[in-house]
Amino acid sequence: MAKKKVVVIGGGWAGCAAALSAAKQGAEVTLLERADMLLGTGLVGGIFRNNGRFTAAEEAIAMGGGDLFELMDACTIHKDFQFPGHEHASMYASRAIEPLVAQALEDYGVDIRRLTRATEVELDGTRMVAVMTGKDAGAERFEADAFVETTGTSASPGNCNRYGAGCCMCILRCHTFGMRVSIAGKAGIVEMTGRKGDHVGAMSGACEILKETIDPKLVAELNEKGVLIVPIPQNDQPGSAKLDAKCCQQYNLPEYAANLVILDNGEAKLMTPFFPLHQLRSIPGFKRARFADPYSGGSGNSMRYFNMSPRNDALKVEGLENVFCGGEKAGLLVGHTEAVVTGMLAGYNAARFACGEAPLVLPDSLAIGDAIQHVREEMQTEKGLGCKYTFSGSVYFQRMKQRGSYLMDVAEIKRRVEAAGLTGIFGWRAGVTAKGHGQALAELATNAW
Ligand SMILES: Cc1cc2nc3c(=O)[nH]c(=O)nc-3n(C[C@H](O)[C@H](O)[C@H](O)COP(=O)(O)OP(=O)(O)OC[C@H]3O[C@@H](n4cnc5c(N)ncnc54)[C@H](O)[C@@H]3O)c2cc1C
């Protein structure tokens, strides 16, 4: 029988996880990415395993879908460190990991198409038949049995102008590769936008300073400990309005207003959306500071949480019978871990749909299952649309603690997965083989340096 086809649109962490998950189920997978690199906003992040993200990563591993977490672990430059409000964090080398993820996907049999921006859709009623690039990009057509949309929620430059501080020249590089296009939106689905009070969307919560522009003594401390905390003179401390506007509520704590909280992800990752350059340069050790991401990190940052899809708990887009979604597209879930676990489920369910099988809904006895259900429910309320959800802090981490789903004991996490009957569910389907089946991933991570 011919292999079933799955097309994944958007190659951030969610799209990579979806592609890999569908490939492990035996689907022929094509991953479309508009830019020249995979990982989207994951190219400038790096924090994982902090707080409840540890539990979510271990649940995914116990369910057989831990491939990308194992790769992140292998590319870790700081492990088990703390920073305000966050325990047992790991940091992957955000400047180095992308080629390894791409290699892993290829080893798993995924056909990666970079510089391929899907801008058009072909529908047969509520069934998606194909996505296409525009005429000026060759009108390439990608037909499939099922689709996964993981295009993220970044603003177009117009919306960064309207709701943010203008184009701050972030890693998404819209002016070079063209802006994000919502596939569900093109298919006529009415989508949702996050908002808080008068704010539409939310501003990304971290920026990066070039290490060579910071006092080498401070950089040595950052490199050694993974974290650097430098008090900000009282007059230069950001007001609460700036902290409120950011999308990463888990960093909306007083420590982040009183100090520069900097983490080492290869560059110096400053845990605030932006910081006026002249004020930064007045802080001892930073008088030559310059931003690495976004280039205009002294003025603002990218805006996100536009065009989220209505979806059910199997991550199928409401109103389309064969389109699934993951990552930020699936709701107000912030983070790489959140993108990977939702992408994993969306890719799995797309492959199952293509084979005529019923989709999987994860039970709320698992943190991942509960997060997927809870965020969907919350997004139906005005208040919920004003929040962001992450395993790592703020309202959702509180909920994990209250429900007893924040677990650090790996054996207990495995027991819960076992009790749900889901051990190894995202593993390779019987009879499916690929170059990356077995050892290739581990070899790739250890040999790469
Ligand atoms: C500056 C910054 C720092 C961050 N730091 C961290 C961190 O340290 N830890 C953490 O957990 N989270 C962090 N986050 C949040 C995290 O990066 C995101 O929540 C998560 O990675 C989102 O993944 P995604 O795949 O859903 O979306 P995205 O990363 O936005 O990926 C979407 C992809 O789809 C592509 N695309 C869009 N439209 C199309 C189309 N029509 N055709 C083809 N391709 C398309 C885009 O080019 C992009 O590559 C950070 C975010 C930012 C912006």
Q: Atom 21 (ligand 1): residue with closest C-alpha?
A: 336
Question: What region, left, alpha or beta, does residue 234 occupy, with left being phi > 0 and alpha being psi -120 to 50 degrees?
Answer: alpha
CA dist., res. 329 & res. 349, Å (int): 16
Give the pTM. Answer: 0.96
Tell the residue nearest (CA) to atom 49 of ligand 1: 40
Q: What is the pLDDT of residues 422-437, one digit of tens each?
A: 999 999 999 998 887 6
| Nearest residue (CA) to ligand 1, atom 4 | 45
How many whole angstroms from 339 Cα to the centroid of ligand 1?
8
Q: Are 65 and 344 in contact (CB under 8 A)?
A: yes
The Cα 257–Cα 367 span in angstroms is 30
For tokens 């889901």, what's the residue? Answer: 422
For residue 138, how many other CB atoms are within 10 A of its CB? 10
Whole-number average pLDDT of the chain = 93
CA atoms within 13 A on the CB side of 179: 15
The stretches of 216-335 forming alpha helices (DSSP H) are: 216-225, 240-245, 254-258, 277-281
Nearest CA to ligand 1 atom 7: 45
DSSP reduced 3-state for 73: helix
pLDDT band at 249 (very low <50, low <70, confident <90, very high): low
In percent, the amount of the chain with pLDDT more than 70 equals 93
CA–CA separation, 307 vs 195, rounded Å?
Answer: 12
pLDDT, position 436: 74
State residue 254's pLDDT score: 80
pLDDT of 292-344, one tens digit each?
999 999 999 999 999 999 999 999 999 999 999 999 999 999 999 999 999 99
Within 6 A (CB) of ligand 1 lie 9-15, 32-35, 40-42, 44-48, 117-118, 150-152, 154, 180-181, 204, 206, 302, 327-329, 334-337, 339
For residue 433, the model assigns a pLDDT of 83
Residue among 211, 233, 210, 238 at smallest CA distance from 222: 211
Q: How confident is the model at residue 371 (pLDDT cuts 50, 70, 90)?
A: very high
Residue with tokens 């990009």: 137
SS3 230: strand
Mutate to test the pocket of ligand 1, among 44, 49, 151 (most ligand atoms within 8 A of CB): 151
222-244 pLDDT tens trace? 999 999 999 998 776 665 555 55
What is the pLDDT, as a whole number, of residue 445?
59
Cα 331 from Cα 125, distance rounded (Å): 25
Could you identify the residue written with the tokens 């050694």?
224
Predicted local confidence at residue 234, as pLDDT: 78
Q: Identify whether the C-beta of residue 355 lies closer than 8 Å to the C-beta of residue 308.
A: no
Neighbours of 324 (CB within 10 A): 35
pLDDT, one tens digit per residue, over 120-168 is 999 999 999 999 999 988 999 999 999 999 999 999 889 999 999 999 9
Q: Which pLDDT belongs to residue 265?
A: 96
Q: Which of 7, 20, 38, 41 to mutate to test the pocket of ligand 1 (most atoms within 8 A of CB)?
A: 41
Q: Is the bond into 359 cis (omega within 30 degrees of 0)?
A: no
Q: What is the mean pLDDT of residues 81-87?
A: 96
